[in-house]
Amino acid sequence: MGKGDDAGDAGAAGDATPTEKAPVAAASTPATTPASGGPPARGAMPEPPAPEPPKPDPPYVAAEKARRKAPIWAMAVLSLLPVWGFMYVRALTESPAEATGPIGVGEEVFSNCASCHGADGGGGVGYPFSGAEVLDTFPYIEDQIRYVTFGTEGYNAAGIEIYGNPQREGGVHTTGSRGVMPAFGSQISASDIVAVVCYERYTLGGADPTSEEFADEYEAWCSEEAPVYIAIENEEYDVSTGEPETFALPGGGEVTIIPVGDAPSEGLPPAVPGDVPGAAIGET
């Protein structure tokens, strides 16, 4: 019995061994309750909302985007078009004929006169030349050369009240009535005075060098081969001489000019209405 009890005790002991290990197995199971004082567990972040689809472009924007872009070389060509156009027009435009001879020289000399008579001869402080005004005042070129040479001071000193044509249509011009006319004979050469008078008569005043009225005057004084101008420029003829002088015209014939003289004198009207009021007082 005692053995039996020992056996029973042994069996009981054997039965008790797994019973003692049960709590260990239970302790190995993780706890589902968070530890006291720790942060709460984070949940999963919500997914962001999907972006809205872009709004469609307006028709004009879509058309611009779809339009083919010009290549870079085309832009360079287009930028040169204005220059090309300017050169093309300039090539087609006939350049105005450049004045030569006495009239070309006179255009440069006229800068001394423009401040009073206007750059285009329209007048100002001084009388106008344009619209044949200068031709009405001085039917003869010699009278105009004389007045430009001696000016108002010389004419006043000589007691000459009316200069130029005393029968001028529209009224005579009296000495000093439009200010002071400088005596250019002491400022510029005699050939320059002739040149500027030619420019005033034919370019500004509108005298027609091909007309019967002015053909001889132009040929003698103002053409490129004008014998009077050339003789004065080469100092072969002195305009202050008091004697008439005869010159051969380049186109044939001769002309005798009115002497300018060394002092002011009264101007002459055309000898006969419609007579040639140019350089000649007599032709041979």
Q: Is residue 130 part of a domain?
A: yes
Q: Is residue 80 part of a domain?
A: no
Specify the number of domains making up the chain.
Answer: 1
Low-confidence ranges of the chain (pLDDT < 50): 1-4, 6-14, 16-27, 273-284
pLDDT of residue 39: 63
User: What secondary structure letter does DSSP report for 179?
Assistant: B
Q: Is residue 238 part of a domain?
A: yes
Instruction: Using the CB atoms, write b or e for 45-73: b if 16+ within 10 Å.
Output: eeeeeeeeeeeeeeeeeeeeeeeeeeeee
pLDDT of residue 22: 46
Give the structural domain span for 246.
Answer: 101-282
pTM: 0.64
Residues 6 or more apart in contact with residue 193 via CB below 8 angstroms: 145, 148, 149, 184, 185
**Strand, helix or coil at 163?**
strand
pLDDT of residue 42: 65
Q: Is residue 186 part of a domain?
A: yes
Cα-based torsion angle of the residue sequence 222, 251, 268, 158 in order, rounded to the nearest 10 degrees: 50
pLDDT of residue 12: 44
Q: Is residue 251 part of a domain?
A: yes
pLDDT of residue 229: 97
Token digits of residue 20: 């003692």
Q: pLDDT by residue (tens digit) across 27-60?
A: 455 555 555 555 666 666 777 777 778 888 788 7
Residues 6 or more apart in contact with residue 136 via CB below 8 angstroms: 165, 168, 169, 170
**Strand, helix or coil at 280?**
strand
Q: pLDDT by residue (tens digit) across 104-113?
A: 999 999 999 9
Q: Is residue 61 part of a domain?
A: no
Which residues on adjacent β-strands are paired with residue 255? 247
Q: Is residue 161 part of a domain?
A: yes
Q: Calculate the alpha carbon distances from 176 to 56, 170, 262 in Å.
A: 85, 18, 20
Q: Is residue 70 part of a domain?
A: no
Q: pLDDT by residue (tens digit) across 229-269?
A: 999 999 999 988 878 889 999 989 999 988 899 999 999 88
Q: What is the CATH number of the domain that holds 165?
A: 1.10.760.10
